[in-house]
Copies of this chain bind each other. A is one copy, B any other.
Amino acid sequence: MMTKGRIEAFTDGVLAIIITIMVLELKVPHGGAFEDLKPLIPVFGSYILSFIYIAIYWNNHHHMMHTVQHVTGTILWANMHLLFWLSLVPFTTGWMGENHFSSASVFLYGIVLLGAALAYFILQTTIIKSHGKTSILARALGKDLKGKASPILYITGIATAFVNIWISGALFIAVAIMWLIPDRRIERTLRDKN
């Protein structure tokens, strides 16, 4: 009943704004020398990581939506739920960067990543439910190892935030790299079908 186009357009809009608004946390320093940029280095580092995360979400969302044939009210709200978690990324990115990766800020960053991952999983499950177990998405995901590994890695990263933030950081980066490696499951399944 609902058109896929408008849910995609709205999601694109929100993600485009999130990814661009994050850069506002890079507050222009008052001094004009290179050393004035020093305090911004951790903010910049967290910005790069979050930029990649939002880009991955956009990419995966794009592919997943490709398989959707009809948008129900439940899919729409599951999508809003995902956007809610992602909308918190600029805040946690800024907090983590400005406080030089304090344990609490790394912990919260992980919580938001975990929340987004679970929201994505719920959205995925909702789509599969309404399209059937033999749908393109269901077959493409298969065992969905990446989808299952991510929350485990996030939870580990959250747990280690008060022990050693470098372990947490390494885990959060590892998940990003894992998703950056091309994943052709959906593309392949779509091609096989034709």
Residue positions of A touching B, CB distance < 8 A = 1-3, 6, 8-10, 12-21, 23-26, 28-34, 36-37, 48, 51, 55, 58-59, 62-63, 66, 73-74, 76-77, 80, 83-84, 87-88, 90-91, 94-95, 98-100, 102, 104-105, 108, 180, 182, 184, 187, 190-191
Contacts and interface: CB of A to CB of B under 8 A. Distances in A.
Nearest to A184: B73
State the copy count for this chain: 4
25 contacts: A1-B66, A1-B191, A2-B66, A6-B8, A13-B13, A16-B16, A16-B17, A19-B87, A23-B87, A23-B88, A23-B90, A23-B91, A25-B28, A28-B94, A28-B95, A30-B98, A32-B98, A32-B99, A33-B104, A34-B104, A48-B84, A51-B84, A55-B77, A73-B182, A74-B182
Given A23-B87, A25-B28, A2 B105 contact: no
Contacts of A87: 19-20, 23, 51
Nearest to A14: B16
Chain A binding surface, main DSSP class? helix
Given A8-B6, A191-B1, A17 B17 contact: yes
Contacts of A3: 66
A185 B110 CA distance: 40
A100 B182 CA distance: 44
A31 B104 CA distance: 10
A67 B90 CA distance: 35
The interface centre, meaning the residue of A10, A59, A80, A84 with most chain B CB atoms within 10 A of its CB, is A10
A31 B130 CA distance: 45
Contact of A17 (B20, B26, B90, B102): B20
